[in-house]
Chain A
Amino acid sequence: MERLYRWFTERGSPVPAGLFRILVAAFCVANIVVIRSHLVDIYGRYGFVQWAITRANLHQSLPHLGDLAKALAGCGLSADDTLYLVVGTYVIVLLVMLIGLAARFMAVAAWCLHFLLIYAGDGLLYGMDMFAHIALLFCIVMPIGEYLSVDALLLRRPLRYSQWAGVSRKLLQLQVCAIYLSAGVEKALGVQWWNGDAIWRTVLLPSFHTFDMTWLAQFPALAVMGGWSIVTIECGYSVFIWWPRTRRLWLALVIGMHFFIGLLLGMWLFGAVMIVLNLGAFGYDALPAHVRRALERLQLGRAARDPVRA
């Protein structure tokens, strides 16, 4: 128990948290860029799913974009104006967070604004939105402003290992493991993932049709192997990602899996947010020691105070 406590509370580098901040902010901005011409359709009062419905699905005590629109109506702002105001503020906050100015405060603001947006578009919500919200939550928790940030530059803060940097990244790692364990076990419970049908159905779905993959029907063994591989990668993640000897392999496998999901189903944003979560959680540990040292030397302002622990 004491060893577990020591492992959990050991000091960690702020570098992964700083890199995570940059990746999450860049991803969230990219997300808005991709859907920029559909903002009203997704999040608008009379979008694909009206606010009356999404408000009803949200707990009474929690705020909705419609509540803000109602409050701002007195200032002469329409519902669409409020939406654009929120999206505009969200993008600015993300850009400020990306450069690391008042980074934790910006993470809180981005998370709150993202909350308003995803519930306004609750009818179209899917995994990517949830994982982006989780990533922003961990930006609040982690010391994201300690590395490659304007904060560090202005305050001439040296790069310092801290207990919270270590603990907060362990939390992210455990969260990502829980995600893959849940995803893997749920898949393993379905016969479709064992007989290849899940892979076949996924590539056949007209909604995700990117390439003609119907040739797979002639080689069902490939679909079976694909299904087993995904279940193995997801279920094995929680074990093999911790073991230093298999960490790089498993990280490469899971990133490869998300890359192929992006390529074959066109779900690039979903793949990207999962890759961001993986890199934030385990990417730094998978790097060779000399690369980690080089990353620490990139710190703006003064040089690193503590040596890199291999």
Chain B
Amino acid sequence: MRTTKKVVVGLFIGLHFFFVAIVISHAYDWMLNRPGFALVAAAAEYYSSITFADRNFGFFAPTVNADWVVDISVTDDARRTHPYHFSLDNQEMRTKFYSMTGHFNESDDNMDLFARSWAVKIMNDDVHASRVDITVSQNQLPTMAEYARGRRIRATPIYRTTFTLRT
């Protein structure tokens, strides 16, 4: 390779692994609150949003979060209520759904936005739906010792909302 090309490629490689290093070492989190490093943090975030290469790869870490249960009931024009289930007919969809409920739980705003999104989807799928009730619960998982003593998984409601179609 010619020298100029080598330098350019070397710079790119250096920058790539610099971003990877600051994210996995959590230096990025430190930089976020330091105005002097705002530009570096913004560049790392932008690069991450394009390449996904400089992300924190600690899945199921440091703790394994309990999963969430989404209960939805739909009321139609004739005021009949029936449960609604998202189509999750393979494990890949169940994994994606688990991930979605994790994103749902990231903030109160996300909860409202995601719930609204589900309601819109349901109302699009079912033209007779006039009201959608959503309850999200989080599973409380027993420890091994608690399970051996007889305690089982319990779901605790964490979010409830209702959407009504205006005519």
Contact assessment for B50 and A62 in the assembled complex, using a CB-CB cutoff below 8 Å: yes
Q: A123-B103, A124-B96, A205-B139 are in contact. Are A48 and B58 (CB under 8 A)?
A: no
Binds A, one of B110-118, B128-136, B157-165: B110-118
Q: Which residues of A contact B16 (CB under 8 A)?
A: 171
A237-257 residues at the B interface, CB under 8 angstroms: none
The count of chain B contact residues (Cβ–Cβ below 8 Å) is: 57
Q: A115-B50, A183-B57, A205-B64 are in contact. Are A125 and B99 (CB under 8 A)?
A: yes
Q: Which residues of A contact B24 (CB under 8 A)?
A: 178, 181-182, 185
A179 in the interface (beta carbon within 8 A): yes
Contact assessment for B94 and A53 in the assembled complex, using a CB-CB cutoff below 8 Å: no
Q: Which residues of B contact A46 (CB under 8 A)?
A: 120-121, 124
CA of A2 to CA of B20 in the docked complex: distance in angstroms? 24
Contact assessment for B147 and A133 in the assembled complex, using a CB-CB cutoff below 8 Å: no
A67-119 residues at the B interface, CB under 8 angstroms: 115
B87 in the interface (beta carbon within 8 A): yes
* A19 → chain B closest CB, angstroms: 21
* A7 → chain B closest CB, angstroms: 14
Contact assessment for A207 and B64 in the assembled complex, using a CB-CB cutoff below 8 Å: no
CA of A137 to CA of B47 in the docked complex: distance in angstroms? 12
Q: Which residues of A contact B99 (CB under 8 A)?
A: 124-126
A229 in the interface (beta carbon within 8 A): no
A193 in the interface (beta carbon within 8 A): yes
B143 in the interface (beta carbon within 8 A): yes
Binds B, one of A21-29, A209-217, A283-291: A209-217
Contact assessment for B97 and A207 in the assembled complex, using a CB-CB cutoff below 8 Å: yes
What is the interface residue range for chain A against chain B? 35 or more
A199-223 residues at the B interface, CB under 8 angstroms: 200-202, 204-208, 210, 214, 216-218, 220, 223
B80-101 residues at the A interface, CB under 8 angstroms: 86-87, 89-100
Binds B, one of A34-42, A147-155, A293-301, A302-310: A34-42
* B24 → chain A closest CB, angstroms: 4
CA of A206 to CA of B67 in the docked complex: distance in angstroms? 7
* CB-contact partner of A59 in B49, B52, B66, B145, under 8 A: B49
> How many inter-chain contacts with C-beta < 8 Å in the A-B complex?
174
B17 in the interface (beta carbon within 8 A): yes
A121-144 residues at the B interface, CB under 8 angstroms: 121, 123-128, 130, 133-134, 137
CA of A125 to CA of B62 in the docked complex: distance in angstroms? 19
* B106 → chain A closest CB, angstroms: 11
* B117 → chain A closest CB, angstroms: 5
Q: Which residues of A contact B100 (CB under 8 A)?
A: 48-49, 123-124
CA of A169 to CA of B64 in the docked complex: distance in angstroms? 33
Q: Which residues of B contact A175 (CB under 8 A)?
A: 20, 53
B31 in the interface (beta carbon within 8 A): no
Contact assessment for B57 and A182 in the assembled complex, using a CB-CB cutoff below 8 Å: yes
Contact assessment for A205 and B62 in the assembled complex, using a CB-CB cutoff below 8 Å: no
Closest chain A residue, CB of each to CB of B149? A217
Contact assessment for A198 and B90 in the assembled complex, using a CB-CB cutoff below 8 Å: no
B63 in the interface (beta carbon within 8 A): yes
Contact assessment for A201 and B66 in the assembled complex, using a CB-CB cutoff below 8 Å: yes
Contact assessment for B49 and A62 in the assembled complex, using a CB-CB cutoff below 8 Å: yes
B8 in the interface (beta carbon within 8 A): no
Question: What are 23 A-B pairs with beta-carbon distances under 8 A?
Answer: A38-B87, A41-B86, A41-B87, A48-B117, A49-B117, A53-B113, A53-B114, A127-B57, A178-B20, A183-B59, A185-B24, A192-B64, A197-B144, A204-B147, A205-B64, A205-B67, A208-B98, A210-B91, A220-B144, A266-B91, A266-B94, A269-B95, A270-B95
Q: Given contacts A49-B114, A220-B144, could you give 20 more A-B pairs where the C-beta distance is less than 8 Å?
A: A41-B121, A46-B120, A48-B97, A50-B121, A123-B114, A124-B97, A124-B103, A133-B51, A163-B1, A178-B20, A178-B24, A181-B24, A185-B58, A186-B56, A186-B62, A189-B62, A208-B95, A208-B98, A268-B92, A270-B95
Interface residues of chain A, those whose CB is within 8 Å of chain B, are 34-35, 37-38, 41-42, 46-50, 53, 58-59, 62, 115, 121, 123-128, 130, 133-134, 137, 163-164, 171, 174-175, 178-183, 185-187, 189-193, 196-198, 200-202, 204-208, 210, 214, 216-218, 220, 223, 265-270
